[in-house]
A and B are shown apart, each in its own frame.
Chain A
Amino acid sequence: MFALSQDPDRSFHRPPVPTALRDLVRPVVAAASRTLPVADSITSLLPRGVLRRGSVSVVTGAPGSGAVSLALALASEASAQGHWCGVVGISDPGATAMSEAGMDLRRVLFTAEPSKRWLDVTAELLDGVEILIVHVSASVPFSAARRLSARARERRAALIIVTEDRQYWPMPADLGLSIRSSVWMGIGRGDGHLRARRLELEVAARGEHLRLVSLWIPAQSGETLLAHGRGDA
């Protein structure tokens, strides 16, 4: 009591912990908590088969080619397991389709539209959610991209960029998925209905060779499936 009352300010003038020491005493995290769960069917797309926290993925595809569905396929398993997701800049999202894709809509935050301050909103949202899907429709300044990547790494959230043009995101990504072609099945000339879509992807994972992969999003069963040959939906 007396010691405190003699020098009340003492506790507020703690010397800073040296950086080297801070790194040493940083708690060790288990491997499982460094990754986010993904559906089994798409693990082969991902570097080392995991969606790492703090990683940046870029999904490239023209509007209507399935880029949003592909980004959601990356996030859906984590969402279903109770992780929070954020969706920025996707105008007019179809919530029914998101729910069909496996997202738990109770834990998805949408920001209305990308205003001038979308960067601030996005950076701050990274504090609260574990997966953030950002639709980018114009070139992002390098400084902004760097700031977002750093924030994602710091907050241990997975950042998924959806864009029409890979050039819009000026930084290298841990995972790049570009949609080469998308073909719908099941619709005829006046009969049937849209059932399944086959995407041909170019997968560029950091430290791995460029690969071509075909994926059914959605498959006829409604899930995402890796295509191993032709017509095996």
Chain B
Amino acid sequence: MAVVMLERTMVLWVPELSQGGGDVAALRSFAALLEIVLLRCPFVEPLRLGLMALPVRSVARFFGGELAVCELLRKDLAPLLDANQQSLRIGIADGCFAAVLAARSEALVAVGETTEFLATQAISCLHRSDIAELCLRLGITSLGAFAALDRDRVLERFGLDALHCHRVASGEEAMLEGVSDPQITMRLQRLQTPETGTTQAGFFGGTSARDERAHRIAIRLQGHFGVSSIQVALTQSGRDPMERAAFESFAAEEPTVFRDVAPWPARLPTPSPMTIFARPREVSVLDGSGEVLGIDAVGLLTGTPVTYKEANAYRDIAAWAGPWPLMGPWWRQRLRRNRLQILTTSGCAFLLSHEGQNWKLVGRYD
């Protein structure tokens, strides 16, 4: 089995925040803590309310060791934590999931000892009740015993998700699905969005008659056809057009408009695709001899694109631009991708994204 080196990760956990109801006050308090940590380490990432992770290697080098970083962050955060009567637990291990577990017992797991540390943890740490229940009945109580099971048998009995759990338990994958809250970044961003400024008031202030009319009709339609039948688009900062917009159900209060002030390196040049496929379509890009193209180690195409194939249909490529790499942080693999614009011989332009080993058709320039 190949030895996988997982990134050294530090997790900071504020139990009072994650055990609370998750209201706006808790979110604000978490955002304030995050701000302070950001000053020391710009790579810190919120996992869920009360839980944040940061790659500790570079920070430890800079401040003189992992213990020094712990001390420093504790000192930085102490005033705010004391004021809110909160406690802080810090754990360090290889891989994000192990670090989350380490934070529970405030353990600093030494380099290379993460697999042993994981092996001692209870099977319930996986938060998969079906697996835990059966394993407990079989006498498998720890992650170590679970990791010792034959992987093919686990896949057979429990399916793909259990395979993922098995990899995590054996210390081959950094993060367990379901531990982090995908909404947390969005929620924090919304908290920081400036409330004032861009709303255009009606003639006498407030909303105009035409705003009221549109609101009334939208709400009536939602009553007839369901809340999700009428949607509005929200824009936010980001690198790719698919990150920069989101749709949500119409609500009567005016959505705040995000003012794009920060520069976004690696942002795609305008114009953006007029159609963003909600379900990106899998395609393969081929060269003249029918060889499938990928991205090589230095971020270049491995050949000259001539056609692309989507579900057995081939289309010829007349021109292309890119690939433009996007290097996200290590713990968000999805953010590591290459973008490519292609123009077909029929004059249609598409945006492709290369993630993992696959090409996906993400947008069309309508």
B341 at the interface (CB under 8 A from A): yes
Q: How far is the CB of B223 from chain A (nearest CB, A)?
A: 11
B365 at the interface (CB under 8 A from A): yes
| B214 in complex: contacting residue of A95, A128, A218, CB < 8 Å | A128
B232 at the interface (CB under 8 A from A): yes
| A110 in complex: contacting residue of B231, B274, B341, CB < 8 Å | B231
Q: How far is the CB of A62 from chain B (nearest CB, A)?
A: 8
B233 at the interface (CB under 8 A from A): yes
What residues of A have a CB within 8 angstroms of the CB of B241 in the complex? 94, 96-97
| B229 in complex: contacting residue of A69, A83, A112, A194, CB < 8 Å | A112
Q: How far is the CB of B174 from chain A (nearest CB, A)?
A: 31
Interface residues of B, dominant DSSP: mixed
What residues of A have a CB within 8 angstroms of the CB of B224 in the complex? 120, 124
Size bracket of the A interface: 35 or more
B220 at the interface (CB under 8 A from A): yes
Instruction: Give residues 261-286 of B contacting A (CB, 8 Å).
Output: 268-278
What residues of A have a CB within 8 angstroms of the CB of B304 in the complex? 189-190
B43 at the interface (CB under 8 A from A): no
A169 at the interface (CB under 8 A from B): no
Q: How far is the CB of B220 from chain A (nearest CB, A)?
A: 7
Q: Do A68 and B366 have beta carbons less than 8 Å apart? A: yes
Interface-side segment among A12-20, A49-57, A100-108, A143-151: A100-108
Question: Interface residues of B, CB < 8 Å — how many?
Answer: 59
Binary interface profile of B, 84-123, with partner A (CB < 8 Å = 1, else 0)?
Answer: 0000000000000000000000000000000000000000
A77 at the interface (CB under 8 A from B): no
Query: In the bound complex, how far is the Cα of B227 from the Cα of A112, in angstroms?
Result: 10
Binary interface profile of A, 171-182, with partner B (CB < 8 Å = 1, else 0)?
Answer: 000000000011
Q: Do B232 and A111 have beta carbons less than 8 Å apart? A: no
Q: How far is the CB of B132 from chain A (nearest CB, A)?
A: 38
What residues of B have a CB within 8 angstroms of the CB of A91 in the complex? 275, 278
Q: Do A63 and B321 have beta carbons less than 8 Å apart? A: no
Q: Do A67 and B366 have beta carbons less than 8 Å apart? A: yes
Q: Do A95 and B277 have beta carbons less than 8 Å apart? A: no
What residues of B have a CB within 8 angstroms of the CB of A108 in the complex? 232-233
Binary interface profile of A, 27-70, with partner B (CB < 8 Å = 1, else 0)?
Answer: 00000000000000000000000000000000000011111110
A110-B232, A125-B217, A181-B347 in contact; A97/B210 too (CB < 8 A)? no
What residues of B have a CB within 8 angstroms of the CB of A97 in the complex? 241, 271-274
A93-B233, A96-B241 in contact; A194/B321 too (CB < 8 A)? yes
Q: Do B235 and A99 have beta carbons less than 8 Å apart? A: yes
Query: In the bound complex, how far is the Cα of B182 from the Cα of A122, in angstroms?
Result: 34
Q: Do B220 and A94 have beta carbons less than 8 Å apart? A: no
B208 at the interface (CB under 8 A from A): yes
With A68-B274, A190-B320 given, name 11 new contacts (CB 8 A): A64-B350, A64-B366, A84-B214, A92-B277, A92-B278, A95-B235, A98-B233, A106-B257, A108-B233, A111-B231, A183-B347
> Could you name 11 residue pairs across A and B whose Cβ atoms are closer than 8 Å?
A67-B366, A94-B245, A94-B272, A106-B254, A108-B233, A128-B216, A181-B347, A187-B319, A190-B321, A194-B269, A222-B270
